[in-house]
Each structure stands twice: as C-alpha cells, then as structure tokens.
Amino acid sequence: MKKKEVLVLEELLGSNKKIASEIREKLGKKGILTINILGSPGAGKTSLLERIAERLKPDYKMAVIEGDIETERDAERIRAKGIPAWQIITGGACHLDAKMIGNIFPEIPADLDFLFIENVGNLVCPANYDLGENIRCVLLSIPEGDDKPKKYPKAFTTSDCLIISKSDLLPALPFNLEHAQKEALEINPKLEIFTTSALKDSKINELIEYFLSALHKLRQKNA
Amino acid sequence: MHELSIVASLFEILEEKAKEQKAKKIISVKLKVGALSGVIPEFLETAFDIYKKDTIAAESTLKIEEVPLKIRCQRCDTEIVKDDFVFICEKCDSRELETLSGTELLLEKIELEV
C-alpha cells in the first residue's frame, strides 16, 4: 500500500462562489441590480417586497425569485402585484444556492432594473451562499428581539443592509432599537440600517432610495 | 442545517481529486473551519460520517482545524484574536479592521492510498 498526501486548498463552497460570480457579472452587464433578502420565517420579507413592488412598478421593471421549502404562496402574492415571480421550491433545503438561480437565469428578462431574491426563511444557512447578488439585506423583525445580530453573526456580517421590520410593533414590545442598531454595527460597521413597517408603509421610501442609488452606481460602473 | 449540503460540495472535490490522483481510496481529509465560517464543526463531522458510506472515502477520517477569528486594525496595526465578533479595535476603538483569518471553509489536504 502506497500513501500519498495531496495539498488541495480549495474552498468547500468554491463552486457556488464561481457560479455566483458569473451570475453577478452577467446581470450587472445587463444593468440589473440583484438584491438577496435574508431573514427568519415570518420576519416580513414578502410583505416588504409587496410594498417595494407597489413603489417601483410605475417607473421601474422588477422581478422576484422566491425561495421556499414548500408552496407557491409567496410567488403568488408577488404576481398579484403585477410583478413577474419565479418560485423555487427547495423541497427541504434550508437555503438557496447559486445553481438554483442559474437555472432560472435564461428566463430573466434583459430589460429589468431590479431582481429581488427572497431566500428561504432562515437566519443561519442562507448566509453561506452567495447567489450573485449586489446587495444582501437581512431582515430583523421587532418580535424576534433585539439580541439577534450577535446570536447570528454570519447573516449580519455578510450583509450590506439591515432592515429592522415591523416597526409598528415597537410600542407593544420590549425591543430596544438603539441596542439592536449598536450591536449590529459592532459586528458590521458597514451596515446601512433602515427601520421599516410594511404594514404602516413607513420608511419604505428611504429603502427604495438606497436601492435606486445602488442601481445608479452599478450602471455607472458598467457604462 | 446546511452542513450536509456543504459536505456534498466537499465530496464533489474529493471525488475529483481521487480520480485525478488515481487513488484507490481516501484515508484522511483535513479541513480548516473558521469561527465565522457559518458552520458548526460537530455537524460537519456528523454529516461527513453519513455521507461517506459507499464512497471512495468510506473508511476515511475527518480532521477539522478550527481557526479563530483574527483581525488587524488598519489604524494602529494591532492584531487581535476575537471571540465575540465585535469588529472594533480594543486598543484604539477604530472600526477600520481587516480580517486575517476565521472566515475560511477550506479543504486543506487529503491523504490517499494510491
């Protein structure tokens, strides 16, 4: 028996990263800004997308990829707003990966402005998978508690933007907004933070401005 | 838990490498897993043991080196090992920090029988 040691030094998620980079480059060349939205089940990801859709629809073209373990429900909610949506049913998998987005890629219209990807509701696993996005947003809803950024560091350190959702519940729950913002910035000083309510339609405009400015920058870069 | 998906990606690389080297079997697998890699080493071990059955790595052992999160302050040049994921320099309070290690999820080396 002959033994041999081989130095490999390969990233375990290297193939996902490669596919993601290709997606980012192709979508970027078309001038499409891609936004990956992470958050726990029930954090309000789909409700936020409904509000975003209402705001963007008159002037911009957007589409949504929905990731869920089961059902078409989220995609149906988005389609009801007149927005094209694809549903990825993972059948148990707790996250989307770049290959799943790559499978939909040929169907994505070239004239889009924004492609939103709503990840499977989960604050852990999706954080490891680059989907080819330009901006990663993590949602933290008021009922989840203000201690989450440090409990789920990967989701918060890999995100560009933190959306504290369901702000209409602040008067009812012992959520310390300042504490949550402070802790989030301690683990990721570059986070842009928005405190929104999809139900009361609060501060959605600020978020839209942020996306529009990122779209502008992407197109300038690729011009 | 996504550790099983990650182990599936690991086995894609393992099978490719074993084929390249014309190996009879894989004896051991060594990973480097950072404190901020987003995976739990114990879960990786469990997933590895489930996955390896009936593969070229069926009799292999998995070794995991856990890598702490290490950062360098870009203002005062201090290097610190962090266990709290707070990205603030303990010496000068700067938030301009460079991550040196601790985010890796790497297949470092394999031992083969050829």
Which of A60, A49, A27, A199 has the alpha carbon at shortest distance from A117?
A49
Of B6, B39, B113, Cβ closest to residue A1: B113
Helix axes B3-20, B41-51, angle to 10 degrees: 60
Residue B81 located in a structural domain: no
**pLDDT, tens digit, for every residue of A64-96?**
999 999 999 999 999 999 999 999 999 888 999
- Residue A59: per-residue pLDDT: 97
Half-sphere exposure of A114 (CA within 13 A, CB side): 28
Of B13, B84, B111, Cβ closest to residue A10: B13
> Chain B: nearest CA to A96, how far in angstroms?
10
Of B36, B39, B114, Cβ closest to residue A2: B114
CB atoms within 10 A of CB B60: 21
Residues of B in contact with A154 (CB under 8 A): 36-38
Residue B50 located in a structural domain: yes
CA distance B61 to B40: 17
A183 phi and psi angles, rounded to 5 deg: -65, -40
Residues of A in contact with B6 (CB under 8 A): 12-13, 128
CB atoms within 10 A of CB A205: 12
Which of A24-33, A195-204, A205-214, B89-98 is predicted least confidently? B89-98
Residue A5 located in a structural domain: no
Residues of A in contact with B27 (CB under 8 A): 3
Residue B80 located in a structural domain: no
Residue A4 located in a structural domain: no
CA distance B26 to A34: 40
Instruction: Mention every residue, 6+ apart, whose C-beta is less than 8 A from residue B99.
Output: B36, B69, B70, B71
**CATH number where B18 lies:** 3.30.2320.50
**CATH number where A56 lies:** 3.40.50.300
In this complex, do B106 and A11 lie within 8 Å of one another by their Cβ atoms? yes
Residue B24 has which token pair? 């009879």
Residue B43 has which token pair? 């879960």
User: How many angstroms separate the Cα of A28 from the Cα of each of A137, A207, A222, B19?
Assistant: 18, 20, 7, 36
Residue A207 has which token pair? 């978020």
> What is the total count of domains within chain A?
1
Of B6, B87, B109, Cβ closest to residue A13: B6
Q: State the residue range of the domain holding B25.
A: 3-67+102-113
Residue B32 located in a structural domain: yes
> What is the total count of domains within chain B?
1
User: How many angstroms separate the Cα of A84 from the Cα of each of A51, A107, A109, A146?
Assistant: 15, 11, 10, 34
**pLDDT, tens digit, for every residue of A133-147?**
999 999 999 999 999
Q: Is A120 helix (H, G, I), strand (E, B) or coil?
A: coil
CA distance A201 to A208: 12
> Chain A: nearest CA to B46, how far in angstroms?
17
> Chain B: nearest CA to A5, how far in angstroms?
4
CA distance A209 to A137: 14
> Chain A: nearest CA to B78, how far in angstroms?
18
Which of A156, A147, A116 has the alpha carbon at shortest distance from A35?
A116
The per-residue pLDDT of chain B, averaged, comes to 95
Beta partners for residue A198, in sequence order:
none
In angstroms, what is the C-alpha Rg of chain B? 18
Residue B88 located in a structural domain: no
Residue A59 located in a structural domain: yes
In this complex, do A6 and B112 lie within 8 Å of one another by their Cβ atoms? yes
Of A2, A8, A127, Cβ closest to residue B38: A127
Residues of B in contact with A6 (CB under 8 A): 17, 21, 109-112
**pLDDT > 90: what percent of chain A?**
96
* ipTM of the prediction: 0.90
Q: State the residue range of the domain holding A48.
A: 15-222
- Residue A160: per-residue pLDDT: 98
Determine contact: B19 vs chain A, CB below 8 A.
no
Q: Is A97 helix (H, G, I), strand (E, B) or coil?
A: coil
Q: For A17, name the nearest residue in chain B, comparing CA atoms only.
A: B9
User: How many angstroms separate the Cα of A68 from the Cα of each of A23, A40, A87, B62?
Assistant: 21, 12, 7, 32
- Residue B85: per-residue pLDDT: 87
**B1 versus B9: which is more confidently predicted?**
B9
Beta partners for residue A89, in sequence order:
A68
pLDDT at A222 over 90: no
Please report which helix (H) or strand (E) contains residue B24, including its range. none
pLDDT category at A109 given cuts 50, 70, 90 is very high
Determine contact: B21 vs chain A, CB below 8 A.
yes
Residue A22 located in a structural domain: yes
CB B106 within 8 A of CB B13: no
